[in-house]
Amino acid sequence: MEEQFERYYELLKEWNSFMNLTAITEREEVYKKHFLDSLSFVCAKEQMEKILSADISKDELRLIDVGTGAGFPAVPLKIVFPHLQVTLLDALQKRIDFLNEVIRSLGLEGIETVHGRAEDFASNEVYRETYDLCVSRAVAGLNVLSEYDLPFVKVGGLFVSYKSEKSEEELKTAEKALHILGGEVSDRVSFSLYGAQRDLILIKKVENTPKKYPRKAGTPNKKPL
């Protein structure tokens, strides 16, 4: 596991020299702000397992990371929880190329990459409402993100949004969208990570998302629900 994180760091640094993957490149900072921040998911593990009636360490849960970029948070999660069946989705082909190399080089199994926009893939029946968990970090405001992420989650599953101290405001703005899309806020787990406040917002899928959502690519961002 430690060797996999080290290899991941080396690849990130190497590929970042010829493409834009991250502004953070110093080893300790990458470990803190990308690897450990991604793994802060464990702070809400107990709450999530209760909602899912599952064991995240052992069960083969399906997890999708929407707007994964250089693989955060899902690649660190896959390293630590190898039973998870992971999909990494991103709109940028170059980042997908990087992730394919990470998967190959780290010898990860039960993980796939998908190049495209969330709005397009969430309408595809292979992906729609088939995931136990959908995670996103630093992709969009919660009102927009709900329309990207909730369609992937099956009823009874969870959408987990990584946020910072502004999450209270974001939650208010997203109330209507969550209701329309079949989501309900179950919990907000707040903690401090190296002095910065971090929030994990747990949204349970309580009803199917109406077929007309997500709207066509670009619309959720232009006209949030």
- Contact set with ligand SAM (CB under 6 A): 67-70, 72, 89-92, 95, 117-119, 137-139, 148
Question: Which residue, 74 or 203, has its beta carbon nearer to ligand SAM?
Answer: 74
Residue 202's beta-bridge partner residues? Answer: 160, 187
Cβ closer to ligand SAM: 81 or 162?
Answer: 162
Query: What is the rounded distance in angstroms from the CA atom of residue 42 to the CA atom of residue 44?
Result: 5
Q: How far is the CB of 188 from ligand SAM (least distance, A)?
A: 19
CB of 154 to ligand SAM, least distance (A): 20
Using the minimum distance from each CB to ligand SAM, give the nearer residue, 119 or 199: 119
Among all chains, which residue has been given the structure tokens 């949004």? Answer: 161
Tokens 């052992």 belong to residue: 58
**Residue with smaller CB distance to ligand SAM, 182 or 214:** 214
| R_g of the chain computed on alpha carbons | 16
Find the shortest distance in angstroms from Cβ 59 to ligand SAM.
24
- Dihedrals phi, psi of 127, to nearest 5 degrees: -110, -30
Q: Angle at Cα 24 formed by Cα 17 and Cα 142, nearest 5°? A: 120
Q: How far is the CB of 91 from ligand SAM (least distance, A)?
A: 4
